[in-house]
Amino acid sequence: MSIQSLKALFRPELDELSTYRVPPAPPVVKLDANESPWPLPPEARARIAAALHASELHRYPDGRATKLRDALARGLGGSTDEYVLGAGSDELIALMATAISRPRSGADRPVVVFPDPTFVMYRMTSRAHGWEPVSVPLDGAWDLDAGAMASALARTNPNIVYYATPNNPTGNCFSRDKIERLVDAFPDSLHVIDEAYGPYSGQSFATFAEERPHCALMGTLSKVGFAGIRVGWVRVHEALSQELEKVRQPFNLNTASQDIATLALTDLAPVLETHITSIVAERERLATELDRYEVLQCFPSDANFLLVQHTGDVPKFCRALLDREIAVRQFSTGDSRLRSCIRITIGTPEENQRLVEALRDILG
């Protein structure tokens, strides 16, 4: 069989997707991926080293991730059986696309609805699984357009609706009452509230979701200091988590990730809190610094990054930053309003200061 005929066997939706690429060598000041800028202090590393020293790496991991589930239920509420765990929330988005994929009667394909712009994986993963993605533009303040969302939900009767709040890349939380009204008005879809950046906003839908079996909460450790271990979760009614568990790879979370994530949610939680507090304070300081420049407009943020509009040549501006070893995120696809924007992850005070000095240099 030729390569051409083998390639013809791949699903057609892949033609419109491209590989998710990350730059090969990390820049000195890395403000492009919404990670926490803080390495762990030595005592925390020692705790992790001790946990790994004691772990049985010659055995398969605990397929149920018992200790991590316990830590999640104790820390975030609910019962251990409500949690489905994944190698980052990315894996859970894919897992839900695999499992919750029966088309509505009369429809050819399952449908997912999300606002736009938002986290790109909702679209990419749904396409890779043969779903129909339906995006609804955010309003001028980057908030949900509740009327347009309601029309899209009524028209398409989606299997899943995603709301990232705070939203990536816009940084803001959506109006709470808009989400609540949409969830209550459309009880036949699963509404997934993605709280990846929730720790930076101080807001959560936990109590709201607890009372609604068609509302799930998604979370991750990636944005609060543990992007490298790839641990995320979705908390959903037990009747649904049982079904999702059927398609989860039995050993999707390795032993090291389970051990480290359990520590992150328990003994190391105070260290993470200190880092979060520092990042929130730096976010406000950096926003004030950026707003000094007429060419820049900083949108309000509840997350660990800022979306900034630049009235000039954005690629040239980003190149000038990169020449000074500072990487930020540009947007070449998706909502056209983003073409004039960059996304800046909040760094350590020193990194942010380097950015401030670079801006002075570039913008005068």
Residue 334, amino acid: G
Q: Does 194 bind ligand PLP (CB under 6 A)?
A: yes
Q: Does 165 bind ligand PLP (CB under 6 A)?
A: no
Q: Please, which residue, 164 or 298, has the CB nearer to ligand PLP?
A: 164
Structural tokens at position 65: 């991730």
Stretch that binds ligand PLP, among 87-95, 108-116, 181-189, 345-353 (CB under 6 A): 87-95
Residue 170's nearest CA partner among 144, 208, 132 is: 144
Q: Are 40 and 260 within 8 A, CB to CB?
A: no
Q: Does 168 bind ligand PLP (CB under 6 A)?
A: yes
Stretch that binds ligand PLP, among 42-50, 51-59, 88-96, 265-273 (CB under 6 A): 88-96
Q: Does 133 bind ligand PLP (CB under 6 A)?
A: no
State in angstroms the smallest separation of the CB of 194 from ligand PLP.
5
Q: Please, which residue, 34 or 262, has the CB nearer to ligand PLP?
A: 34
Q: Are 175 and 184 within 8 A, CB to CB?
A: no
State in angstroms the smallest separation of the CB of 92 from ligand PLP.
8
**Cα 241 to Cα 138: distance, rounded to the nearest angstrom:** 30
* Binding residues for ligand PLP restricted to 96-125, rule: CB under 6 A: 119
Binding string, 298-317, against ligand PLP, x = CB under 6 A? --------------------
Of the residues 32, 35, 82, 90, which one makes contact with ligand PLP according to CB under 6 A: 90
Binding string, 322-351, against ligand PLP, x = CB under 6 A? ------------------------------
Q: Does 232 bind ligand PLP (CB under 6 A)?
A: yes
Residue 305's nearest CA partner among 351, 349, 347 is: 347
Q: Does 252 bind ligand PLP (CB under 6 A)?
A: no
Q: Does 199 bind ligand PLP (CB under 6 A)?
A: no
State in angstroms the smallest separation of the CB of 150 from ligand PLP.
22
* Binding residues for ligand PLP restricted to 3-42, rule: CB under 6 A: 34
Q: Please, which residue, 222 or 252, has the CB nearer to ligand PLP?
A: 222
**Cα 307 to Cα 43: distance, rounded to the nearest angstrom:** 34
Count of chain residues binding ligand PLP (CB under 6 A)? 12
Stretch that binds ligand PLP, among 83-91, 150-158, 314-322, 344-352 (CB under 6 A): 83-91
**Cα 125 to Cα 160: distance, rounded to the nearest angstrom:** 13
Q: Please, which residue, 174 or 317, has the CB nearer to ligand PLP?
A: 174
State in angstroms the smallest separation of the CB of 83 from ligand PLP.
14
Q: Count CA atoms closer than 13 A to 88's CA, side-chain side.
A: 13
Q: Does 164 bind ligand PLP (CB under 6 A)?
A: yes
Positions that interact with ligand PLP (CB under 6 A)? 34, 88-90, 119, 164, 168, 194, 196, 220, 222, 232
